[in-house]
Structure 1
Amino acid sequence: MILLQIDWNPAPEIFKIGSFALRYYSLMFVFAFMFGLYIMKKIFLNEKISIEKLDSLFIYAVVSILIGARLGHFLFYDPEFLIRKPLEVILPFKFSPKFEFTGFMGLASHGAAIGIIIAMYLYSKKVLKKPVLFILDRLVVPSALGAAFVRFGNLMNSEIIGKPTNSDYGFIFRRLGEDFPRHPAQLYESISYLVIFGILMFVYWKTDKKQKSGYIFGLFFALLWTVRFFVEFFKEAQVEGREDWILGLNTGQVLSIPLILVGLYFMFRNNNSK
């Protein structure tokens, strides 16, 4: 049925002035951080933590997510580029064939996860003066919402596309010059992350699970990376030759497995564990 098809051809740029362009993808990051800051303010007030410490948290989170996601993309998916053009990895510009503002295009969620954990360890020691799992249990709540925004940004960019559906159902990515429907894998993830956000909000505000150190953090990891693992079956490989990397699994799935196990460990470990 033609009603099951969606011709998808949005311009990735909202507007452009010279070499600077405001992209939907960048705007989704702004939304992610804005809503994240709002939710964390509510959590800090609930925990009777000084709001002054929220400014430092915002800086730690933004810097670590962007750097971790950027480095993670090139380490996991394009290490050759990291060696050839290290400055273009860190800076939101490209220098050849001409200087151009590009923003941070190419971000890996696995790298962001590693970056934010390291940053929260430092933040908990230097600013919050609480165990690192205390802040991780609370920070993952808005993180799920932020992940939903980011994946919707990928959809607006017509990137990280799904495999052909071989049916009438799906999104036709006209910007890629295609005339056949694919799975909207970005939308699958975005909606799933919204559901995870709802679950985490319920667990934090309506249950006593936050009293068990590491439980909400573990729940977030177990749910989010499980979603990522299964949605990968509907995605095109992001790196040529990595579709059947290990045991028929692609890069994203292989990287997700240890993070799922980490999540399960923190959910079901002994309450007395340090």
Structure 2
Amino acid sequence: MKDGIINWNVDPEIFILFDTFPVRYYSLSWVIGCALCYLIVKKVYQKEKIPLENLEQLTMYILIGGLLGARLGHCFFYEPQYYFQNPLEILLPIQKVGETFQFTGFQGLASHGGLTGIVIAIILYVRKSNTNILWIMDRVALGCGAMAASIRIGNFMNSEVYGKPTNGNWGVVFERDDLIPRHPTQLYEAGAYLLIFVVLMFIYKSKKIERRNGLMVGIFFILMFTARFMIEFVKENQVGFEDSMSINMGQILSIPLILLGFAIIYYGKKPLTYKT
């Protein structure tokens, strides 16, 4: 370390399983994040005396929807041309190298797509279970901040999704890519998401705040994607076509979700009940 500069050169692979399947910090961060989200929401269900069988079913919907949405979001928002030419790689953890395919794991997951997938999964769940959609989304939002923070730490371990160069006197040098001190935007986002988690937990536990349907998930959308929008200004563009844009794809996708947060708060005026 020199001055305020941290040199970062961690191998993203922890080990290789059966000499074939690489186990990465990023994959581990997803597992930890999902587990944290589940445990947080489980505590809420127990506190409010909602049967945990309901949460088990909801969890399956969210896991499938979140992973599918994150994967499809990356493929269609950031690299549509490549994946239209290589459709097998969209949902299979492989990559074509010459005339053969190699196992790579999923190289690319988009948070906007993941969140969209979670929302769709919750919509499908409430149609089957006859529960209040905003009640469910409020509780799920409580755990999503911790999950998002864990995933961004995984990006840091992977030396990816980093920021633009700093003034050279401080920052992180991601030696696997270059020797330029950069903004560690993964850690900026992780810190912001943890703060959002604390804010939502305070609102949930406060007896002085009227918690209407949609208040917590609305605040979650507003805070999370405002933070994302602002941090994108110091983040490197993920794909080449963003270089010609005044704001990048991450910022464009954040705007409707911020507006959705305000809309949910405005329209969520019914009493808080689990059932519709």
For Structure 1 versus Structure 2, the TM-score category normalised by the shorter chain is over 0.9
Distance 2:104 2:208 in 1: 45
* Maintained 8 Å contact 1:14/1:24: yes
Deviations 1:47-74 (A, max 9, x none): 2211112221221111111100100011
Residue ranges of structure 2 left out of the alignment (5+ in a row): none
* Maintained 8 Å contact 1:137/1:210: no
Q: Which amino acid aligns with 1:23?
A: R
* Maintained 8 Å contact 2:212/2:270: no
Distance 2:207 2:82 in 1: 46
Give the one of 115, 118, 142 matched to 2:117: 115
* Maintained 8 Å contact 1:209/1:216: no
| Residue 136 of structure 1: how far off its partner (Å) | 0.5
Q: Which amino acid aligns with 1:15?
A: F
Distance 2:97 2:63 in 1: 27
Q: Which amino acid aligns with 1:111?
A: G
The 3 A distance-change label for structure 1 pair 20 and 100 is: same
| Residue 270 of structure 1: how far off its partner (Å) | 6.5
| Residue 93 of structure 1: how far off its partner (Å) | 2.3
Identity of aligned residues (%): 44
* Maintained 8 Å contact 2:213/2:268: no
After the TM superposition, which residues 1-274 of structure 1 pair with which residues of structure 2 at under 5 Å, given as runs? 2-17=2-17, 18-97=19-98, 98-127=100-129, 129-176=130-177, 178-207=178-207, 211-245=211-245, 248-269=246-267, 271=269
With 103-112 and 219-228 compared, the bigger mean Cα shift is at: 103-112
Q: Which amino acid aligns with 1:253?
A: Q
Aligned residues: 270
The 3 A distance-change label for structure 1 pair 212 and 15 is: same
Deviations 1:181-224 (A, max 9, x none): 00001110011101101111111122465741111110000000
Distance 1:207 1:88 in 2: 49
Distance 2:195 2:262 in 1: 19
The 3 A distance-change label for structure 1 pair 209 and 56 is: farther
Q: Which amino acid aligns with 1:242?
A: E
Distance 2:264 2:94 in 1: 39
Q: Which amino acid aligns with 1:71?
A: L
| Residue 241 of structure 1: how far off its partner (Å) | 2.6
TM-score (norm 1): 0.93
* Maintained 8 Å contact 1:6/1:171: yes
* Maintained 8 Å contact 2:9/2:176: yes
Q: Give 3-state SS (helix, strand or coil) of 1:242's partner.
A: helix
The 3 A distance-change label for structure 1 pair 19 and 210 is: farther
Distance 2:229 2:160 in 1: 18
* Maintained 8 Å contact 2:213/2:270: no
Q: Which amino acid aligns with 2:166?
A: T
Distance 2:112 2:210 in 1: 24
* Maintained 8 Å contact 1:209/1:215: no
Distance 2:205 2:94 in 1: 42
The 3 A distance-change label for structure 1 pair 250 and 244 is: farther
TM-score (norm 2): 0.92
Distance 1:270 1:40 in 2: 21
| Residue 138 of structure 1: how far off its partner (Å) | 0.6
Residue ranges of structure 1 left out of the alignment (5+ in a row): none
The 3 A distance-change label for structure 1 pair 147 and 270 is: closer
